[in-house]
Amino acid sequence: MTTRDPFTRPLGRRQFLRSMGAAAGGLAIAPWLSGCGDGATSATDVAVPLQVDPSRPWWLQNGFGPVSAEVEAFDLPVVGALPPELTGLYVRNGSNAQTGVSRHWFLGDGMLHGIRLDGGRASWYRNRYIHTPLYLNDQDFIDSGIPQGGNNQSNVSVIHHAGKLLSSGEVGAAYHIDSRDLSTVGVEDFDGKLNTSFTAHAKIDPVTGNMHFFGYWFVPPYLTYHVANPAGEIIHSSEIGLGANSMMHSFAITDRDVIFYDLPVLFAPEVAGTDFPYRWNDEYGARIGVMPLGGTGDQIRWVEIEPCYVFHELNAFRDGDDIHIDVCRFDRMMDGERFGDVRSAFYRWSLNTAGDSLGFRDEVLIERPMDFPVHDRRYTGRRNRHGWLTTFRDHPDTVNTGGVIHIDAQSGDTTEWDPGPNRHLGEAYFVAGGSDEGEGWLLTYCHDHARGETSFVVLDARNVSRGPIAEVALPQRVPYGFHGTWVPDGA
C-alpha cells in the first residue's frame, strides 16, 4: 500500500500531522470477520454506544470525519467469494473537507473511493480528491461566493455515460474522472454546449440510452432541462419556469414523462456567509411538475401538494393515465437546523394526467426512516418490482444509518440485513447479474464505529437477509458519503 500527498501546495504543520496520522492509521488492516453468507456478525461484535461530542459538528466526527491521506492498496484480502462476473470499478463520491473543517455535511471537498474487482479478486483500492478550484485553492462553497462552472465541490454523485465517468455536485459543472485511477481529467462541458449546472441525479433511459438531466441555479433561469444522446452530445435543452431558486436535488422520468419536484427549501442570500445558505420557507409551498420526455418548459403541468421535502426517489413509471413515483419523503428539511429532521417515510406519489388539471394522491408504503433508494436501472422509468433502501437508526445527535432493506412490490414482502449494532451501511448500488429484474448484487461500504474500520460488502440483491457473500477489508476508513456507480470493463 502507498499513500500520496493530496495537496498541490506545501502542507502546514497541522495538515502535515493530520495527513500522516491518517496514513498511519490506514496502514494496518485489523482482524475482522463478518460471518459472510449467513447474515451473522462477528462473535466479538459487542454493542458499543455511538458517542457524539456535542461541542463539535457531528459531520466532522465518527464515521463522518474526513480522511486526509490519499491511499492505494493492491490485492486486498477477501472473506467469502467475490462473484467472478463482477469485473470493473465500484466508485462512490462523498464530502471530505481537506482542512478537517466544514460548515455542513454537504460542503466538504469531493473525494472518490473506488475498488477494482477482477474475476473474483479485489485488485486495488484508491481514494482521490476531485481537483476542483475549491479544493486546489482551499476554499469552501460559502467563502468562494456562488459557484459557477467548475467552481464547485463535485461531492455528491458519479455517473457513467458515453464511456465517461462523471462526478457531480449539488450545483455547478460535472467533472470527467479517469476510471483507471480516479484522477481528475477536467471540467465536462459537453463540447461547450452546457452552460448550466449538471444535476446530482442524471437519469439514463434504458431503451434509448439518452441521459436526461437538469441544472438548477440561484438566479434566473432557475431550472434548465437537458438531454444527451448515447454519444454524450447534448441534443435538447429547455428552460423550466420556477417561482424561486428552490433546491431541486433530484427528479424522475418515465418512458414518456419528466417529473420535477419544486419544494420549499430555497437558496437564501441573506444567510450566505453563515453556516448553510439553504433554508426551509413555509410561504413557498410545494408542487410537482410533469412534462413530456424530451419536451419543453411551456408543456409542463403543475399540481400543488402538502409542503415536504424529497432528496431521492426510487423510480417512477406510467400506468395508463397515472404516473407513480416512489419517494423518501421528509416533513421538513433545512428548517433552521444545519441539516434538519432526518425522520422520513417511504411514500408513493400518484399523478393522474387524464383531465385538464393534474390529480394527486399519496400513500405511505413503509412508515420507517429510510433513504438512498436504488433500483435495477434496466427498469428506470418503467414499472419495477424490486427496490432497495438504506435504513436509519434513532440517534439524538447524528445521522445514523443501519442496514439495507429489500422491497418486493409484487408480493409486498420486505427483507432486511442489519449488519449489527456497531456497523453502518451506505447506499447499496445494484449491479445486474442475470436477465431477470433484481437478479444481481448490491455493492456498498460498511463502517464499524467501534473498530474505526471499513469494509467493502457484496450482497445477493434478492436475498439480502443472507448477509454478505463477500467482504473486502479496506486499508483505511471510508467516511460516510453519498452516491456511487459501477463501471464494468468495456463500458
Distances (CA, A) of 222 to 272, 297, 465: 18, 12, 43
Of 348, 481, 462, 477, the C-alpha closest to 411 is: 462
CB neighbourhood size of 456 (10 A): 26
Q: What is residue 100's predicted lDDT score, i.e. its pLDDT?
A: 82
Distance CA 416, CA 390 (A): 10
Residue showing cell 500500500: 1
* Peptide linkage before 220 cis (omega within 30 of 0): no
Q: What is residue 251's predicted lDDT score, i.e. its pLDDT?
A: 98
| Percent of the chain whose pLDDT exceeds 70 | 86
Average pLDDT for the chain: 89
Q: Which three cell numbers stand for residue 369?
A: 426512516
Length, in residues, of the chain: 491
Could you give the count of Cα atoms lying within 13 Å of 47 in the half-sphere of its Cβ?
3
Asked if pLDDT for residue 287 goes beyond 60, the answer is yes
Of 371, 357, 353, the C-alpha closest to 427 is: 371
Q: What is the pLDDT of residues 129-169, one digit of tens each?
A: 999 999 998 876 666 666 667 889 999 999 999 999 999 99
Of 165, 78, 68, 163, the C-alpha closest to 108 is: 68
Asked if pLDDT for residue 9 goes beyond 50, the answer is no
Average pLDDT over residues 296-303: 98
| Torsion 188-191-196-199 (CA) sign | negative
At residue 34 the predicted structure's pLDDT band, cuts being 50, 70 and 90, is very low
Backbone φ and ψ for 136, nearest 5 degrees, come out as -65, -30
> In sequence order, what E strands does 322-467 have?
322-330, 344-352, 359-366, 370-375, 386-392, 401-408, 414-417, 423-425, 429-432, 440-448, 453-460
Of 356 and 19, the one with more pLDDT: 356
Asked if pLDDT for residue 29 goes beyond 80, the answer is no
pTM: 0.91
Distance CA 215, CA 432 (A): 29
Average pLDDT over residues 422-447: 98
Q: What is residue 147's predicted lDDT score, i.e. its pLDDT?
A: 60
Q: What is the pLDDT of residues 387-425, one digit of tens each?
A: 999 999 999 899 999 999 999 999 999 999 999 999 999
Residue spans per domain, the chain = 2-488
Q: What is the pLDDT of residues 359-378, one digit of tens each?
A: 999 999 999 999 999 999 99
CATH number of 2-488: 2.130.10
Q: What is the pLDDT of residues 39-84, one digit of tens each?
A: 444 434 699 999 999 999 999 999 999 999 999 999 999 999 999 9
Asked if pLDDT for residue 483 goes beyond 80, the answer is yes
Across 92-96, 99-103, 209-213, least confident range: 99-103
Dmax (CA) for the chain in angstroms is 66
Q: What is residue 20's predicted lDDT score, i.e. its pLDDT?
A: 34
Q: What is the pLDDT of residues 170-227, one digit of tens each?
A: 999 999 999 999 999 999 999 999 999 999 999 999 999 999 999 999 889 999 999 9
Distance CA 128, CA 164 (A): 17
Asked if pLDDT for residue 354 goes beyond 60, the answer is yes
Of 220, 95, 274, the C-alpha closest to 168 is: 95
Distance CA 371, CA 394 (A): 14
Average pLDDT over residues 457-480: 98
Q: What is residue 281's predicted lDDT score, i.e. its pLDDT?
A: 92
Across 28-37, 212-221, 420-429, 430-439, least confident range: 28-37
Asked if pLDDT for residue 17 goes beyond 50, the answer is no
Of 183, 176, 141, the C-alpha closest to 160 is: 176
Backbone φ and ψ for 101, nearest 5 degrees, come out as -135, 135
Q: What is residue 148's predicted lDDT score, i.e. its pLDDT?
A: 66
